[in-house]
Amino acid sequence: MSKHYASAQWEGNLVKGSGKYKLKTSGHEGGVKFTTRFEDDRSASSPEELIGAAHASCFSMAFSHALDQAGFTPEKVETEAEVTLAKAEGGFAISQILLKTKGKVGGIDKAKFLEIAEAAKTGCPVSKALAGTTIKLEAELV
What is the distance between the alpha carbons of residues 84 and 130, in angstroms, rounded to a whole number? Answer: 13
Residue 139 burial class via C-beta count within 10 angstroms: exposed 0-12, middle 13-18, buried 19 and up: buried
Stretch (H or E) spanning 11? strand 6-11
Per-residue pLDDT of the chain (142 residues; tens, 9 = 90+): 889 999 999 999 999 999 999 999 899 999 999 999 998 899 999 999 999 999 999 999 999 999 999 999 999 999 999 999 999 999 999 999 999 999 999 999 999 999 999 999 999 999 999 999 999 999 999 9
**CB-side neighbour CA atoms (13 Å) of 58:** 18
CA angle 104, 109, 58 (to 5 degrees): 45
